[in-house]
């Protein structure tokens, strides 16, 4: 019942009705109401107080400070992420999967994030075709990526490739010609669509160059979804289960409200009117930090070191010992803790549920190790007493299934995250321009100034 009512508010077109609007037309329809909402907020509530700014915010990474506008998703500390009000389970129920598949696909998630509506099947398929049409890499990007040393981290290569695509930015060219502010969003959308469409080919080329030099890369199939094509280009297209896992992975990593380091970086850089390619490349370099997206590679590295040290007989007791060893040596346990969440990440749970449906995954030692670690790590972290959230985040689980299916090069895992995070970051770039949001410029303070201010209050 609840889901149906959420859906009613989200979707003006019931899913069975074969609407064939383009995503641009669907967006055009919803922009005026959002612009009016922002105008109303400015006119009527500009001076309303949303919270206090405390010294702990200024020196504590702004944790918990309500200070950003972000439309597509909101994160609840206990329930986790909702995309325009829909939980992951809601999305699994209402978003169109690939033909022959069950999992959410990137196109339907992108449509939901961007327009706030659930796309019809016809709309989803036409978006897949549009992205496939735009998906080829320009020659200069191919040459650039092929010229990079294979020892360069795949995330560095991804960020470089994305930044270099600004050579073709429609927004940058239009700005140079001279356009009105009201036209910013439409050129931004054009760049975002091209970038999203090309990410699989770019990411797959990096994979091929680093791990399978010289191997041919599949051509883009215009009848396949974005991630189906990505899987093909990686060389895993014949593995239906892995392709489905990649679809789920990429859909649920797509957005995590605005304050996470990658989304926030893209928003900040975009606020200077840097084009979407430059803005998103900056986001990728934030994602490449081990406290953020790179944690998914760190989880595998940490697990393998544990396996080496413990051997094949892994018990709860010796996992506990290894956790304490990590903590006592001053390192973090990768895949655990979170800046906002205070319970197990529903993305972690969704990936675990995927494993539950496949008996062969449940027998896999790497997947079993994730589960056994989850059995004991929260209590160890609680006893350690530092982290505010002793539970797993998505990175604790995302890599082990890839590993099982033969995508074992874990330095590549954050690249897959980088293909995904574009869904939310690019959505917000379009909205920031449609709403005319200003350049970000918070006020900073020195410690002397803080002390003076504190004494005077």
Ligand X SMILES: O=C([O-])CC(=O)C(=O)O
Ligand Y SMILES: CC(=O)SCCNC(=O)CCNC(=O)[C@H](O)C(C)(C)COP(=O)(O)OP(=O)(O)OC[C@H]1O[C@@H](n2cnc3c(N)ncnc32)[C@H](O)[C@@H]1OP(=O)(O)O
Active site residues: 292, 338, 395
Q: Choose from ligand X, ligand Y, none: what does 335 bind? Cβ within 5-8 Å by kind.
A: ligand Y
Write the burial class of residue 437 (CB in 10 Å: 0-12 exposed, 13-18 middle, 19+ buried). middle
Tell me how far apart the alpha carbons of residues 163 and 159 are, in angstroms, rounded to a whole number. Answer: 6
CB of 102 to ligand Y, least distance (A): 24
Told to check if 166 binds ligand X by CB under 6 A, we report no
Cα distance between residue 446 and residue 430, in whole Å:
34
The DSSP code sequence of 59-87 is HTTTTT-------SEEEETTTEEEETTB-
Q: Which does 386 bind (CB under 5 to 8 A by kind): ligand X, ligand Y, none?
A: ligand Y
Residue 177 gets which letter from DSSP? H
Q: Which of 394, 422, 432, 434 binds ligand Y (CB under 6 A)?
A: 394
Chain residues 239-278 in contact with ligand X, contact rule CB under 6 A: 256, 260
CB of 339 to ligand Y, least distance (A): 4
Question: Residue 158 CB, nearest distance to ligand Y (Å)?
Answer: 16
Q: Which residue has the tokens 């995330």?
A: 155
Does residue 393 touch ligand Y according to CB under 6 A? yes
Among ligand Y, ligand X, none, the one that 80 touches (CB under a kind-dependent 5 to 8 A) is: none
Residue nearest to ligand X (CB): 260
| Contact range with ligand Y by CB under 6 A, out of 120-128, 303-311, 365-373, 386-394 | 386-394
Task: Mark 61-80 with x for binding to ligand Y (rule: CB under 6 A) and - for no binding.
Answer: --x-----------------
268, HSE (Cβ side, Cα atoms, 13 Å): 14
Q: How far is the CB of 16 from ligand X (least distance, A)?
A: 33
Q: Which does 334 bind (CB under 5 to 8 A by kind): ligand Y, ligand X, none?
A: ligand Y
Give every CB contact of residue 430 below 8 A, 6+ residues apart in sequence.
27, 114, 185, 188, 189, 192
Chosen residue from 97, 228, 339, 418 binding ligand Y by CB under 6 A: 339
The CA-based angle 187-190-193, given to 5 degrees, is: 150
Nearer to ligand X, 235 or 335 (CB): 335
Among ligand Y, ligand X, none, what does residue 179 contact (CB within 5–8 Å per kind)? none
332 binds ligand Y (CB under 6 A): yes
Tokens of residue 305, six digits: 């070191």
Min dist. Cβ of residue 347 to ligand Y (A): 8
333 touches ligand Y (CB under 6 A): yes
Tokens of 184: 């910013």
Neighbours of 262 (CB within 10 A): 25
User: Which of the stretches 150-158, 195-203, 330-338, 357-365 binds ligand Y when contact is defined by CB under 6 A?
Assistant: 330-338
Q: Is 393 in the site for ligand X (CB under 6 A)?
A: yes
CA angle (26, 30, 34) in 5-degree steps: 155
Q: What x/- string results for residues 293 through 322 when contact with ligand Y is judged by CB under 6 A?
A: x-x---------------------------
In 3D, which of 255, 276, 307 has the Cα closest to residue 423? 255
Residues in the chain: 457
Nearer to ligand X among residue 97 and residue 254 (C-beta) = 254
- The phi, psi pair for 73, rounded to 5°, reads -150, 155
Among 292, 404, 421, 433, binds ligand Y (CB under 6 A): 292
Compare residues 109 and 172 and give the one whose CB is closer to ligand X: 109
Sign of CA dihedral 61, 49, 430, 251: positive
The per-residue DSSP string of 220-270 comes to: PPTTS-HHHHHHHHHT-TT-HHHHHHHHHHHHHTS---S-SHHHHHHHHHH
With the CA atoms of 106, 110, 116 and 117 taken in that order, what torsion angle do they form, in degrees rounded to the nearest 10? -50
Per CB under 6 A, contacts with ligand X among 331-370 are 339-340
CB of 187 to ligand X, least distance (A): 27
Which H helix or E strand runs over 295?
helix 295-310
Q: Which of ligand X, ligand Y, none does 363 bind, CB closer than 5 to 8 A by kind?
A: none
What is the binding site for ligand Y (CB under 6 A)? Answer: 63, 291-293, 295, 327, 332-339, 386-389, 393-395
What is the binding site for ligand X (CB under 6 A)? Answer: 256, 260, 339-340, 393
């Amino acid at each position: 019942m609840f889901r149906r009512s959420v859906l009613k508010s989200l979707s003006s077109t019931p899913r069975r009705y074969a609407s064939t609007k383009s995503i641009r037309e669907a967006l055009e329809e919803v922009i005026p109401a959002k612009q009016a909402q922002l105008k109303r907020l400015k006119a009527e509530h500009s001076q309303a107080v949303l919270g206090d700014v405390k010294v702990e915010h200024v020196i504590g990474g702004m944790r918990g400070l309500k200070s950003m506008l972000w439309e597509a998703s909101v994160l609840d500390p206990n329930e986790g992420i909702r995309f325009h009000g829909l939980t992951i389970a809601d999305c699994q129920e209402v978003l169109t999967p690939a033909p022959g598949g069950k999992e959410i696909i990137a196109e339907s998630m992108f449509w939901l994030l961007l327009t706030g509506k659930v796309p019809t099947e016809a709309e989803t398929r036409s978006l897949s075709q549009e992205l496939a049409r735009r998906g080829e890499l320009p020659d200069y990007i191919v040459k650039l990526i092929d010229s990079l040393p294979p020892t360069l981290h795949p995330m560095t290569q991804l960020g470089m490739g994305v930044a270099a695509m600004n050579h073709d930015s429609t927004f940058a060219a239009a700005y140079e010609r001279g356009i009105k502010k009201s036209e910013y969003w439409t050129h931004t959308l054009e760049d975002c669509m091209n970038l999203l469409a090309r990410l699989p080919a770019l990411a797959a080329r990096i994979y091929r160059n680093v791990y399978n030099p010289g191997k041919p890369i599949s051509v883009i199939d215009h009848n396949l979804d974005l991630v189906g094509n990505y899987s093909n280009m990686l060389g895993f297209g014949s593995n239906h289960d892995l392709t489905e896992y990649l679809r789920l992975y990429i859909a649920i990593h797509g957005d995590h409200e605005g304050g996470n380091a990658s989304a926030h970086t893209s928003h900040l850089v975009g606020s200077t009117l840097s084009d979407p390619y430059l803005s998103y490349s900056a986001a990728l370099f934030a994602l490449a930090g081990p406290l953020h997206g790179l944690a998914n590679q760190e989880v595998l590295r940490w697990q393998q070191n544990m396996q080496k040290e413990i051997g094949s007989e892994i018990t709860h007791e010796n996992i506990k010992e290894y956790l304490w060893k990590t903590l006592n040596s001053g390192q973090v346990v990768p895949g655990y803790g979170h800046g906002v969440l205070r319970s197990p990440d529903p993305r972690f749970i969704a990936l675990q549920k995927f494993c539950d449906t496949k008996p062969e995954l449940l027998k896999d030692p790497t997947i079993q190790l994730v589960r056994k670690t989850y059995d004991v790590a929260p209590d160890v972290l609680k006893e350690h007493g530092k982290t505010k959230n002793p539970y797993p985040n998505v990175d604790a689980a995302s890599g082990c299934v890839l590993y099982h299916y033969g995508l074992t090069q874990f330095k590549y895992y954050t690249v897959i995250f980088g293909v995904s995070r574009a869904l939310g970051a690019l959505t917000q770039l379009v909205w920031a321009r449609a709403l005319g949001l200003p350049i970000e410029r918070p006020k900073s303070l020195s410690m002397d100034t803080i002390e003076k201010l504190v004494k005077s209050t």
